[in-house]
Structure 1
């Protein structure tokens, strides 16, 4: 075994993490927020697929406590000691993780920021989708399906995060276009299915006439559906964001109205591609944005793919979006 292969094997062993092993590959540390949201699992799968295709290695760093700032900071310290080739980074908090990014910059580890745009730091590139546009277009789809009138409940993400704030901005701009739609309540459920179930169970005790539910991600939309089923209320139209496989299955069955496509898989793919290309001296745009699309009963077929069957787009296709 040559020295680089030995070094790669030792790095993987020290991390205690699985890698898509390749003897001559770069080591890319991939930071995600938690193990509870299926969205971040799709990011990790995309990163792994891209690493495999590019003969690199993806190493996952995920807090055991969901969205833990101290734990992610500790993981950054660990990565700086182990010195991977590059980092693909989703901050658990786009403001609070500034010092962590500064550490990566000081250690001269090239870093690609994906999904949640960090407030400060020097990055190879930012890879993401427009949370505002996804929020706007998903809300518009719901309101049109409601014929522009009725009562809705909004399930927010984590208040103060860029994704939630921007999606909410899109929701509220869509509401301005539909004066006949009334917001009964807007409550955070922190992107978690169980919290959404609990929030909705409480709200349904107060509000019995709900025509629509606007959830800032699929996990909360599915939690809302669970609550509606428990209350034997099946008339409310529900939308989410992420276009997860579970959401697509529910759209196919007619239980979920729609979901805004915010592909974690693609963002994981493109993040690793950008990191590896940068290491190899190939050009990388400073910003890469995915196109906005709403998944509905009319177009779900193209999204109806099991997570382990997805494949990364080509670099040309990724940067043309």
Structure 2
């Protein structure tokens, strides 16, 4: 029986493991790297890590970032573009995990290898997840604040985006820590959506509502920096503020003493490790289903390494976080 040329092409693609040309290659793969917006310095770190590791491993990167921050319509359109352009590897973080999951599953079924990184993207057969434990980050940074306050005081929480895995897990960590400190009173917990302006506006409203606030827990550096602006404007510079991420401007605030501490959520490391693991996988190496990168507590005693510009940092490899 004769086999047509088109059938032979399909069979060859299947044998190689994918219709997206992601079989083991020496170099030159194209990576589609998704981030959620162009304004949050955390995602600047993610892109810097992806770029450095891709260059080191001789791959090229096409970045997909909405022009409007966290815009799901643009995010969905960009996923459709990937289905047309057919890169060798995709690094994906969701804007809306529920809305984007069907398209992600369809892309994986068509043969595109996808690493889920930074934020969990729902129940799909990803190659792997690379990120951090948001619950633990939330718990640890809240505990840092409560210990600083001597285990008692009035605290407000600036949450992330309600319904997002990252925001919800961090909030769950904050709440768990508060339960362990019976003399800590949480006056209010309101969304600030990981944003600076909303962090400032929410903090302004809370200052009007409560005459005594001893501490602020922010789900992201941007919200914390906005809260500090509001506190300073109101003459409440003695309020202790903590946050999560570790972007350079926030670390400068730790150095200056206006921000007490940050739980490290390092986008640069996540970008590096996700890129390396994805490229290793499509070049024939096995990949663990998950790599969880530990996060330090950044304080005035240890802040210096986080002030190094992204371009001058050195990418870690997946081996640094895989248990031997």
If the length of structure 2 is used for normalisation, what is the TM-score?
0.89
Alignment-derived partner of residue 116 in structure 1 = 119
Tell me by how many angstroms 1:167 deviates: 0.5
Alignment-derived partner of residue 206 in structure 2 = 203
Alignment-derived partner of residue 184 in structure 2 = 181
Tell me by how many angstroms 1:304 deviates: 2.5
2:109 to 106, 109, 116: 106
Residues 258-300 of structure 1 deviation map (CA, whole Å, 9 limit, x = unaligned): 0001101111111111110111001211100001321111221
1:137 to 140, 152, 174: 140
1:150 counterpart = 2:172: no
After alignment, is 87-96 or 130-139 more displaced?
A: 87-96
Tell me by how many angstroms 1:120 deviates: 2.0
> Which is greater in Rg?
2
CA RMSD of aligned residues (A): 1.4
Q: How does 1:250-261 map to 2 (within 5 A)?
A: 250-261=253-264
1:286 counterpart = 2:282: no
Q: Distance in 2 between matches of 1:168 and 1:286?
A: 25
Unaligned runs of 5+ in 1: 1-22
Unaligned runs of 5+ in 2: 1-25
1:94 to 85, 91, 97: 97
Q: Distance in 2 between matches of 1:134 and 1:95?
A: 24
Tell me by how many angstroms 1:50 deviates: 0.8
Q: Distance in 1 between matches of 2:308 and 2:98?
A: 34
Q: Distance in 2 between matches of 1:135 and 1:205?
A: 26
Q: How does 1:213-252 map to 2 (within 5 A)?
A: 213-252=216-255
Alignment-derived partner of residue 71 in structure 1 = 74
Aligned with 2:284: secondary structure? coil
Q: Distance in 2 between matches of 1:181 and 1:307?
A: 37
1:35 to 30, 35, 38: 38
Contact kept in structure 2, 1:46 and 1:264, CA below 8 Å? yes
Contact kept in structure 1, 2:72 and 2:96, CA below 8 Å? yes
Aligned with 1:95: secondary structure? helix
Tell me by how many angstroms 1:302 deviates: 2.7
Aligned with 2:131: secondary structure? strand
Residues 36-77 of structure 1 deviation map (CA, whole Å, 9 limit, x = unaligned): 211111111111111011111111101112112221111011
Q: Distance in 1 between matches of 2:48 and 2:269?
A: 9
2:59 to 51, 56, 60: 56
Tell me by how many angstroms 1:320 deviates: 4.6
Q: Distance in 2 between matches of 1:133 and 1:140?
A: 10
Contact kept in structure 2, 1:270 and 1:318, CA below 8 Å? no
Contact kept in structure 2, 1:245 and 1:307, CA below 8 Å? no
Q: Distance in 2 between matches of 1:231 and 1:127?
A: 40
Q: Distance in 2 between matches of 1:83 and 1:142?
A: 47
Q: Distance in 1 between matches of 2:129 and 2:211?
A: 43
Q: Distance in 2 between matches of 1:179 and 1:142?
A: 14
Residues 6-65 of structure 1 deviation map (CA, whole Å, 9 limit, x = unaligned): xxxxxxxxxxxxxxxxx9511100011111211111111111111011111111101112
Aligned with 1:284: secondary structure? coil
1:300 counterpart = 2:320: no
Q: Distance in 2 between matches of 1:144 and 1:128?
A: 27
1:85 counterpart = 2:88: yes
Q: Distance in 2 between matches of 1:79 and 1:197?
A: 37
Q: Distance in 1 between matches of 2:273 and 2:99?
A: 25
Alignment-derived partner of residue 172 in structure 1 = 175
Displaced runs of 4 or more, over 4 A: none
